[in-house]
């Protein structure tokens, strides 16, 4: 449909906007209810709630002892003052209701390093009614600078 590519781009950029506002409810709302997220450390979170909880832990927007967090304690709040930016976002409609996107990214302000972090995301987006949602995201870091 006309405008789909732009709508997908808006959803993907919404991830960065939510991250930069440290609003993990808004970030989770971009995902399908059964969405999947694989972080740069290879941890896979299934479902919107797990995606929200685990991102909230690293942004320190939930208490440190929250159940269902799949992070080691030392990463609590490492992104609380970080900024996230996408670059070179490519979108390909696979079917009228499925798209694949690739975007490189940069994070500044990770509490574990003064260096910028860089990576690439592979994103599968699906049309849900009139809205595009993130169904599966694989996040891969390039030039890893933190342990």
Residue 84, burial from CB neighbour count under 10 angstroms (0-12, 13-18, 19+): middle
Strand 131-142, strand 31-38: pairing? parallel
Alpha-carbon Rg for the chain in angstroms: 15
Question: Is there a contact between 69 and 56 (Cβ–Cβ < 8 Å)?
Answer: no
Domain locations in the chain? Answer: 4-142
Question: Cβ–Cβ contacts within 10 Å for residue 28, how many?
Answer: 23
CA distance 95 to 78: 38
Question: What's the predicted TM-score (pTM) here?
Answer: 0.93
CATH code: domain 4-142 is 3.10.450.50
- How far apart are the C-alpha atoms of 28 and 31, rounded to whole Å? 6
pLDDT in tens, 27-84: 999 999 999 999 999 999 999 999 999 999 999 998 888 877 888 888 999 999 999 9
**Hey, CA dihedral for 10, 85, 32, 5, is it positive or negative?**
positive
pLDDT digits (tens, 9 = 90+) for 113-135: 999 999 999 999 999 998 999 99
Taking a C-beta distance cutoff of 8 angstroms, is the pair 137, 44 a contact? no
């Amino acid at each position: 449909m006309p405008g789909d590519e732009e709508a997908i781009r808006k959803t993907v950029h919404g991830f960065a906007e939510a991250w930069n506002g440290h609003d993990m409810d808004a970030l989770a709302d971009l995902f399908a209810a059964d969405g999947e997220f694989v972080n740069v450390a290879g941890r896979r979170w299934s479902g919107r709630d797990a995606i929200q909880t685990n991102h909230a832990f690293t942004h320190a927007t939930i208490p440190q002892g929250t159940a269902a967090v799949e992070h080691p304690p030392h990463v609590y709040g490492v992104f609380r003052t970080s900024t996230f930016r996408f670059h070179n976002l490519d979108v390909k409609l696979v079917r009228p209701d499925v798209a694949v996107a690739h975007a490189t990214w940069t994070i500044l302000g990770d509490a574990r390093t003064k260096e910028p972090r860089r990576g690439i995301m592979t994103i599968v987006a699906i049309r849900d009614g009139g809205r595009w949602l993130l169904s599966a995201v694989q996040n891969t870091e390039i030039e890893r600078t933190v342990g």
